[in-house]
A and B are shown apart, each in its own frame.
Chain A
Amino acid sequence: MPYEFKLPDIGEGVAEGEVLKWFVKEGDPVKEDQPLVEVMTDKVNVQIPSPRTGTVGKLMAKEGDVVKVGTTLVLISLPGEQPSTAPSPQAPPQARTPEVTLQGPSVPEPGPASRALATPATRRLARELNVDIARIRGSGPQSRVTDDDVRAAAGRGGQQAVVLGKAAPAPPTSSAREEVVPLRGIRKTIAERMVRSKNTAAHVTHVDEVDMTELVVLREAFKGSAEKRGVKLTFLPFIVKALVPALKEYKFVNSTLDDAAGNIILKKYYNLGIAVDTEQGLVVVVVRDVDRKDIFELAGEIESLAEKARTGRLSLDEVHGATFTITNVGGIGGLFATPIINPPEAAILGVHAIKKRPVFRDGKVEVRDMMYISLSFDHRIFDGAYAARFTNKIIETIQDPKKLLTEVL
């Protein structure tokens, strides 16, 4: 019997994924652990390797299809079997998720999302119309399947013809004057999360400026040894390091508000989210335990995570678990921005372009390397004065090379 390879539950509430690319064709031999397919979930793109050695049978989803967790993606004939093009009739309707190794965390049991959200009467209607409700993408809130969705699916010829991802009513199409771009994947996640953040957190942005002159010198000094280690040293690892003493002293910045329980949870670990601009949209990669890594390790890690983000090779544990986020908005231009907090964190720091500006020092005008920083914080968790003191601490650390040096190494 051929092995039915189903979209595994990749955790973190991921309910569906879009098939981006097949690495195999029907009839291809495939080895265990050889990449089969690349799937874009709303969190991250994942390459899913084959759990078995055998021959690729029928591909059950096309590139571009959105498939739910638990849907059969491909049949793999095991050695000694005739390649098969149809799923086995004996296969139980809700088969277990196959064992699959991902580039990320281990695969849990079939998750909560495997069940269609529909009322009992709608579920009965689906049975009456011989439509597999689990394969319908609902048009209602939370992808709820409605009677109309079921009838529309039945109108397309029952379960054989139900096109995954095409919710009823028929989606609008592009015309000469307008183009319809489906809100999917990373874009959809950003849309949902940003609105949730704005609706939940009481956003305030505190702006200050920091004199980067000493740091510019310091970075120059370290550049050579960084190159020897094969890493490119940007300002970001230094800023990450400068944040650590501030986060440690002002612990409410490194926290999460559990609104339900009415608790603020202070994190005693320092996982920094770094916002990376990619073609699909903004992705926040997570550098773990930054307080325990030196500047070169941080630089290397940030570089490799950013590269993975741009090429869609991140694993799930590289995109969640941040306790505080930095977004670098200075690369393209602008004075300063007011970032949106990455929920459920308490604050986000925007860093900007370093520009030479005249400043007063000891009664004289001097040209210094200056940078604006903006801290957006959740006023539910702490207040403006606290945010200002936290920001002062960062500035102090960056402006005093001795202090920074003790953090850097």
Chain B
Amino acid sequence: MKSADVVVIGGGPGGYVCGIRATQLGLKTVLVERDRLGGECLNYGCIPSKSLITVSKLFEKVRNGAKYGLKVDAVSIDFVALQKWKSEVVSKLVSGVGALLSGNGVEVLKGDAELVDKNNVKVVTTAGIEQIHTKSIVIATGTRPVSIPGLTIDREMIITSKEALDLDRAPERFLIVGGGAIGLEFASMYQKFGSLVTVVELTDQLLPGTDIDSVRVVQRSLENHGVKILLKSKVASTEKSTAQVKATIETPSGTTSIEADKILVSVGRKANTEKLNLSAIGVELDQRGYIKVDEHMMTNVAGIYAIGDVRGPPLLAHKASKEGIVAAESIAGKPTAADWKVIPDAIFTDPEIASAGLTESKAIEAGYSVKRSRFPFAALGRALSVGETEGFVKIISNAQDGLVLGVQIVGPEASNLISEIALAIEMGATVEDIALTVHPHPTFPEAIMEAAESAAGHPVHQLKS
């Protein structure tokens, strides 16, 4: 029987970071992964999707290059070459994670893990069953896509995000069920690759929970590019034939049917907890099936920790990684806690949406007297020179002392811009702090400075309206 200080179950961005930090802190660590290191993010999520999205944007830009004086005859996408490149990117990162783990001395076991009790983990590998005695266990098993009645995933015609990243061509007619972050990123991307895209969303807003002003910009852009959006609608049934699938959709204005070559189901995700034997050990789950933890990432059972998606939203790789570090430090007896004020998020639609901290409505709910200031990218030199002028930076600050409460950015490079805001909020910066910080010209972050100046009451490149 093997023995360890820590067994980490799952090698995604939560688990592998936890494993590395645990060994760095002197703990003997075994990491169990049943599929590929890097988890959903590296293999079936963030990285491959961003690779494809980048090419789709480039493709669109080149196709419309004439207005910039860029003349190219007959641009086309070679999907085989594209997928090969994407796989290389993924492989490179996955092998990098492997190298980091072994370089730090983390033992990686390939197989399915199950908890025997709070100190024993059983791993089913191809070579047989192995049992590990351990002081602590970190569950980092992530989530998986779910479907809804009437939409049975066959991974051919009715697919999840995983298959949508491996297509050998853009579907002519692509029906996307679920207007959340994943659905809309695919909608943006496949529209650019030439698909006729329809998005069906159950609620009355795309990207539920996201600042409505930001969503509006993305929705308008999608619709301007020919994406059809059906809100307050749901797929009632589907009917497959050899060449296509027909979906019957209930919309507020009646029932309609849409024929599609592929249907992407992106309606939500579910925690991977069923195969871990948690209920026998008494690990508590919340109502939605996520594992409950405290600020040290410990479950109700001492010695058992949970991090990342499996312990609940937001389902984001960077949150998982930070939680992995907290769990490793807790196990090592270090003073640590998940006490960050914000977890920034980024949605890679076109334009991108990124946000950190409170939205306007949440800030009002929390009892702040809220000041809102916006700066449009249309007034920013860099945005004009890149030809991407949709969107704005919106700063929500406390009217009394200018404390930055939250920022929503929709526009070019929003995902890269939001880190400045996360730092500002963690540091307790005020809008004056941001306004007084020199930002280089001409760059996108100037939009943040301009919005901050406006919040502080002295905008330079914006008229007080």
Contacts and interface: CB of A to CB of B under 8 A. Distances in A.
Contact of A119 (B372, B405, B428): B428
B371 A260 contact: yes
A134 to B, nearest CB: 10
A117 interface: yes
A259 interface: yes
Interface stretch (A121-129, A158-166, A238-246, A282-290): A121-129
B426 interface: yes
Contacts of B465: 262
Nearest to B398: A112
B26 interface: no
Q: Which 7 A-B pairs have the closest CB atoms?
A: A127-B335, A111-B367, A117-B428, A260-B371, A262-B464, A112-B366, A128-B335
B454 to A, nearest CB: 8
Nearest to B368: A112
A21 B21 CA distance: 51
B372 A260 contact: yes
- The main secondary structure of chain A at its interface with chain B is loop
Contacts of B306: none
A89 to B, nearest CB: 14
Contact of A93 (B295, B335, B363, B427): B295
Contacts of A108: 367
A109 to B, nearest CB: 8
A377 to B, nearest CB: 20
A267 interface: no
Interface of B: 295, 335-337, 339-341, 363, 366-369, 371-373, 398-401, 403, 405, 426-428, 454-455, 457, 464-465
Interface in A73-95: 93
B428 A13 contact: no
A115 B367 CA distance: 13
Given A13-B367, A123-B339, A127-B335, A260 B373 contact: yes
Nearest to B336: A127
B367 A9 contact: yes
Interface in A1-49: 9, 11, 13
B380 to A, nearest CB: 20
A6 B274 CA distance: 40
A119 to B, nearest CB: 5
Contact of A11 (B337, B340, B367, B373): B367
A352 to B, nearest CB: 33
A251 to B, nearest CB: 22
Contacts of B295: 93
A142 B397 CA distance: 14
Contacts of B398: 112
Contact of B401 (A9, A128, A142): A142
Contacts of A109: 366-367
A53 interface: no
Report which residue of A112, A142, A262 has the largest number of chain B beta carbons within 10 angstroms of its beta carbon.
A112
Given A13-B400, A111-B366, 7 more contacts: A9-B367, A11-B367, A13-B369, A120-B340, A120-B427, A128-B335, A260-B455
B335 A259 contact: no
Contact of A142 (B340, B368, B403, B426): B403
A58 interface: no
A118 interface: yes
Nearest to A130: B335
A130 B333 CA distance: 13
A144 interface: yes
Contacts of B371: 260
Contacts of B403: 117, 142
B337 A127 contact: yes
19 contacts: A9-B367, A13-B367, A13-B368, A109-B367, A111-B366, A111-B367, A112-B367, A118-B428, A120-B340, A124-B336, A130-B335, A142-B401, A142-B403, A142-B428, A144-B428, A259-B457, A260-B373, A260-B455, A262-B464
A13 B401 CA distance: 11
A29 B187 CA distance: 65
Contacts of A120: 339-340, 426-427
Contacts of A119: 426-428
Nearest to A9: B367
Nearest to B403: A142
Nearest to A117: B428
Contacts of B372: 260-261
A124 B339 CA distance: 9
B349 to A, nearest CB: 28
Nearest to B295: A93
B406 to A, nearest CB: 11
Contacts of B401: 142
Contacts of A130: 335
A261 B369 CA distance: 14
Contacts of B341: 115
Contacts of A9: 367
Interface in A182-224: none
A115 B440 CA distance: 33
A117 B428 CA distance: 6
A234 B367 CA distance: 38
A251 B43 CA distance: 64
Interface in A96-122: 108-109, 111-112, 115, 117-120
A141 to B, nearest CB: 8
A13 B366 CA distance: 10
A283 B341 CA distance: 36
Nearest to B397: A260
A262 B459 CA distance: 12
A112 B369 CA distance: 10
Nearest to A133: B339
B412 to A, nearest CB: 25
Contact of A260 (B367, B368, B400, B457): B457
